[in-house]
Amino acid sequence: MTAAVSGSSSTSNTSSSSSSTSNPLGDLTNDYTTFLTLLTTQLQNQDPTSPMDTNQMTQQLVQMSSVEQQIETNDTLKSIQSTLSSGTASQALGYLGNYVEVEGDQFPLQSSTANVSVNYATDATNATMSVYDSTGALVSTTDVSGSAGTHNYSWDGKDSSGNTLADGIYSVKINATGSDGKAVTTTVKVAGKVTGVDMSGDTPTLQLGDMTVNMSDVTTVLSAA
């Protein structure tokens, strides 16, 4: 893979839902409407010589006023939730066709191209990047020694013998040591082109070729297609 990898670097250091059909909000609304109907009827038909107790009526009105406020609050919360959901969906769709970056050791090979960035906390005088296929078999190894900072590498999807491998999900492992022989702390990020969006779950997921990632895991939008 030595001749099949190109790289660049920078000096920045970053490292149960219920099956119940009950509707609490609907019940509150029905109770409030029923109360107003009964109160109006009671006032219209009360005995003038023995009118309704004013204190009791006031207490009932205060209680039902609280119910009305709760109904309005629930409506407002539902409206906010709907707005947020629409915004999240729009954001997810906005990723389509863009290249995004996520932290992790798995990456997608798309059209014989893969991109990996490695951040070294300190100078890595000896470092290798090993690539494994979905079965865990080692397919390529290359030298990625470098100074402290972020280094970007592009792999053309060829194994150590020069054979072109199929697109799919691969994993990468970085072994790095400094001049003192001690391990260097590394942070690996992988990039891929967003080819699809799935909004069927609670949170949207992005499809990077054969690889699926949560939208919340995206750290960087690298470029448009």
Q: What is the pLDDT of residue 48?
A: 64
Does 65 share its domain with 162?
Answer: no
For the chain, the domain total comes to: 2
Would you state the structure tokens that stand for residue 33, as one six-digit string? 């409407």
Flag whether pLDDT at 80 surpasses 60: no
**What are 45-72's pLDDT values in tens digits?**
666 656 656 666 667 667 766 766 776 7
**What are 164-221's pLDDT values in tens digits?**
999 999 999 999 999 999 999 999 999 999 999 998 888 889 999 999 999 999 999 8
Does 33 share its domain with 106?
Answer: no
pLDDT-derived band at 92, boundaries 50, 70, 90: confident
**Domain of residue 145, CATH code:** 2.60.40.4070
6 inside domain = no
13 inside domain = no
2 inside domain = no
Flag whether pLDDT at 38 surpasses 50: yes
Does 186 share its domain with 109?
Answer: yes
More confident residue, 181 or 83: 181
Closest among 5, 6, 12 to 119, alpha carbons compared: 12
Does 83 share its domain with 102?
Answer: no
Does 85 share its domain with 114?
Answer: no
Does 134 share its domain with 82?
Answer: no
Does 118 share its domain with 200?
Answer: yes
Does 59 share its domain with 107?
Answer: no
pLDDT-derived band at 15, boundaries 50, 70, 90: very low
Flag whether pLDDT at 8 surpasses 60: yes
131 inside domain = yes
| Residues whose CB is less than 8 angstroms from the CB of residue 106 and which lie 6 or more positions away in sequence, other chains included | 169, 170, 171, 172, 190, 211
Does 171 share its domain with 61?
Answer: no
Domain that holds residue 32: 24-44+54-94
Flag whether pLDDT at 1 surpasses 60: no
